[in-house]
Amino acid sequence: MDDGRPQNTDPTLRRLLQERTEDLQWVKAEYDNYRKRVRRDRMAVRQIAVANVLRALLPALDAVDRTCAHEPMTPGLKDITDTLRTQLGSLGLETFGQEGDPFDPARHEAVIYHISPDTERLICTEILRSGYRLGDQLLRPAHVEVTGPPPPARNPLAGHGEEPHDGAERDDERPSPPVRPAAPNTWAPSSRRTLPRPSI
């Protein structure tokens, strides 16, 4: 059925049209991948720049926290604190570290350790310095006091008849001290005897 378009049955022209169509599709796919790669690189560069700026502002946040802890909260100080935290929060800065959190060595840095026989796991009992992160990126771990169970008791018989731990040398495997080679046996001829001269 004729749809109003000229019918071309030349196989050469159809092959060229198919090749050009495939080339156009390949160029379009390459351009789409390029746009995605550029967008991803821009986001990565922005993330690094924001992280560097936030990391540089952490001492200012610490100073504000110390001031709020030791000085009366005046309207001006409250305004500065709220504005600073709101603006930094809009950039993605998150604070973490609360009393009662399970101790996580990937996010917490233990400064003081208390032993309590009533605890079964390590717990953050006091936050000495808040931790900060940007998304999944850790900017600074939280300094905490940790309370946990006492360490396991040592076996008093350890070292008597037991195999040494890894890295420990057994007595029969320790290298013996170097032996100095003996002086070579040398033979030196005795001094010549002086024979008496015959009498004339």
Domain membership of residue 181 (yes or no) is no
The reply to whether 72 and 112 lie within a common domain is: no
Domain membership of residue 161 (yes or no) is no
3-state DSSP assignment of residue 169: coil
Cβ count near 84 (within 10 Å): 14
The reply to whether 19 and 80 lie within a common domain is: yes
Kindly report the average pLDDT of the chain as a whole number: 80
Of residues 124, 132, 128, the one with CA closest to residue 143? 128
pLDDT given for residue 195 in this prediction: 46
Domain count, the chain: 2
Is this model's pTM higher than 0.95 or not? Answer: no
Q: Determine the structural domain holding residue 102 and report its residue range.
A: 94-152
Q: 118: domain CATH number?
A: 2.30.22.10
Q: Is the pLDDT of residue 27 over 70?
A: yes
The reply to whether 79 and 118 lie within a common domain is: no
Domain membership of residue 101 (yes or no) is yes
Q: Model confidence over 73-117: pLDDT tens digits?
A: 899 999 999 999 999 999 999 999 999 999 999 999 999 999 988
Domain membership of residue 3 (yes or no) is no
